Copies of this chain bind each other. A is one copy, B any other.
Amino acid sequence: MPWLNENFQKLPAGYLFPEISRRVARFSKENPRADIVRMGIGDVTRPLTPTVLAALHQAVEEMGRAETFRGYGPEQGYDFLRQAIAEHDFQSRGIAIRPEEIFVSDGSKCDCGSLLDLFGPGNRIAIPDPVYPVYVDTNVMAGNAGRLLDNGHFEGVTYLPMTDENGFQPELPTHPVDVIYLCSPNNPTGAVLSRERMAAWVTFALQHKSVIIFDAAYEAYIRDPQLPHSIYEIEGAKHVAIELRSFSKTAGFTGLRCAYCVVPSELRGATRDGRSVPIHPLWLRRHTTKFNGVSYPVQRAAAAVYSPEGDLEIRQLIDYYMANAQRLRQGLQNCGFTVFGGENAPYIWLKTPPPMSSWEFFDRLLHDAHIVGTPGSGFGAAGEGYFRLSAFASQERTAEALHRLQQWAALV
């Protein structure tokens, strides 16, 4: 009988979003007429843009003719997409990332999990708190997290708290760590690392030879021109950082599935006998052995995002969501909530009125106002007492939610 990976047993009861689904399903069953506004899971709602649709249809046409049919593509992604990414997301902003350093994948969630294949046991992992739960969960599964403590923390993880007190800018650890996760704009708080803080992280990583996994899934939502979009805007970052990007939130691809991961050729890790080894060939080997490329029509759709029309359309798409964020932020502040985020990210991060816990707030909001949000504690212990609302609903539904929130706030 095969031994199982017992690290799975250490995971808390359920991944956050399925737990939310269960509670909402139960509520819906008991209240079938309730008109629920869903601002929980960070999923886009606007349709794909015309340029993306045209590229999809055209690629499907190609797949229907023997002369233009495409079977297996390069596992790392087609050159047309890797080149468009390198040029538009990096080179045009003065960042020297080459197409060979870009690996197209079917999602940043998948990349988060897959990247851990590169590392051996015994690494010290630092993870912001609160943050996208997949970083912790995948490290638990990989055996990097150790024992679950009573406070909800894993013994082997160095947590980097992000709170109102530190302006949601995680502090550098007081001891060396090997792998550091950073998420900017941060999911769920909406906080963005300043250029100075990002530089401090790169300096720390250079000093300790740490690898930073920099998740920039929401970079397209940054409005403040002073804030960095890519960690490679910082000198030296190519020696220490992997960057994750996604078309999910940028172009509405959550249902289409396309993302990418930048693994610079300068990045290195260590072997037990003390050699320093480049990581790029390892990731290439991992990618070509355990993955078979992203669907061809989807890669064409992603490339279309970089055309002038595609670019304009997704800017409008993001403007749409950010107008929601702006309205939510303002409206919630007006009725007395303490609100963060929503300025450079599609998430509103609000303080729950004491003594309400995050899940209590979730349940009350669902039952009283028929609004689904996400309990802050689901993103980590430091998220307790906070609550996330997403700006991804339609303008009308956002207005409806705000209206209900305002009425409800008067009662709470």
Contacts and interface: CB of A to CB of B under 8 A. Distances in A.
B107 A296 contact: no
A120 B270 contact: no
Interface residues of A, number: 85
Interface in A43-85: 43-48, 50, 53, 56-57, 60-61, 63-66, 69-73
A27 to B, nearest CB: 19
A113 B210 contact: no
A369 to B, nearest CB: 23
A250 B72 CA distance: 14
A364 interface: no
A69 B295 CA distance: 19
A288 interface: yes
Contacts of A56: 60, 63, 297
B57 A208 contact: no
Nearest to A68: B47
Nearest to A257: B295
A20 to B, nearest CB: 12
A25 interface: no
Given A289-B113, A295-B255, A282 B122 contact: no
B60 A270 contact: no
Nearest to A273: B6
A331 interface: no
Interface in A386-410: 394
9 contacts: A1-B208, A2-B179, A5-B119, A18-B288, A46-B66, A48-B64, A137-B289, A255-B296, A256-B296
Given A1-B269, A109-B290, A254-B292, 18 more contacts: A1-B210, A3-B119, A4-B271, A4-B279, A5-B118, A5-B119, A15-B289, A45-B69, A47-B64, A48-B64, A53-B61, A57-B57, A72-B254, A107-B292, A110-B292, A112-B290, A113-B290, A256-B296
Interface of A: 1-6, 8-9, 11, 15, 18, 41, 43-48, 50, 53, 56-57, 60-61, 63-66, 69-73, 106-107, 109-110, 112-114, 117-123, 134, 137-138, 141, 178-179, 208-211, 252, 254-257, 268-272, 276-277, 279, 282, 285-286, 288-298, 394
